[in-house]
Amino acid sequence: MAYEQLKLENQLCFPVYAASRLIIREYQPYLDKLGITYPQYLVLMVLWETDGLTVNEISHKLILNTNTVTPLLKRMESMGIIRRQRSGSDERRVLIHLTEKGKTLREAAASIPENLVAQISSGDMSFEDLKDLKSKLYNIIHFLLDKNH
C-alpha cells in the first residue's frame, strides 16, 4: 500500500490549520498595539456584539469549552477589560460585561478586519474569493457541529 492518504499534501486539515495560524500571525501586530491576544480579541468581538453574556454563551459562540474560556476571562478581568458578575437570579450563572476599557478597545480595533482583508486580497485572492472561502468554511463548521450534536 502506498499510503497516499497519509501524505501531508493530501490532507484537508493541514491547509486549514496552516492558513489559520498564518492569518492569526498577521493579526498579531494589530493586537499587540491593543495589548491583547487573538483569543481575547475573539471574546471582545462577541461582547462588542452583545454585552452581558454568560460564560456558556461566549463558549458556545466561539466553539470552545468553558474550561478554555474561563481562564481567558479571568485574565481579561485582571487586565481591566471585562468584569465578571454573578447573576442576581441564578448564582450559578456568571455574566460577562465590558468595562469602559473594553468598550474603548472597540474603536481601536475597528479597522483590523478591513486591514487584514486588504493584505490578503492584495495577493492572488480577490475579496470575492475570500468571501466564498469564508462561506465554505462555515459550511464545514456547521456540518461538523450538527454531526456531533
Query: Which residues are within 8 A (CB) of 65 and not within 5 positions of it... i.e. 6 or more apart?
Result: 59
pLDDT bucket at 124, cuts 50 / 70 / 90: confident
Q: Is the confidence at residue 146, as pLDDT, over 80? A: yes
What are the domain boundaries of the chain?
11-103+125-147
pLDDT bucket at 135, cuts 50 / 70 / 90: very high
Mean of the pLDDT values across residues 16-30? 96
Q: Is the confidence at residue 38, as pLDDT, over 70? A: yes
Residue that wins the pLDDT comparison between 122 and 1: 122
The CATH label, of 1.10.760.10, 1.10.10.10, 3.40.30.10, 3.40.50.620, for the domain at 11-103+125-147 is 1.10.10.10
In this predicted structure, what is the pLDDT of residue 111?
96
pLDDT bucket at 93, cuts 50 / 70 / 90: confident
Percent of the chain with pLDDT over 70: 99
Q: Is the confidence at residue 105, as pLDDT, over 80? A: yes
> From CA 72, how far away is CA 46, in angstroms rounded?
14
> From CA 30, how far away is CA 41, in angstroms rounded?
10
Look at residues 120, 130, 135 and name the one whose alpha carbon lies nearest to residue 26.
120
> From CA 46, how far away is CA 40, in angstroms rounded?
10
85: left (phi > 0), else alpha (psi -120 to 50), else beta? Answer: beta
Mean of the pLDDT values across residues 59-74? 96
Residue that wins the pLDDT comparison between 42 and 93: 42
Beta strand 82-86 with 53-54 is unpaired
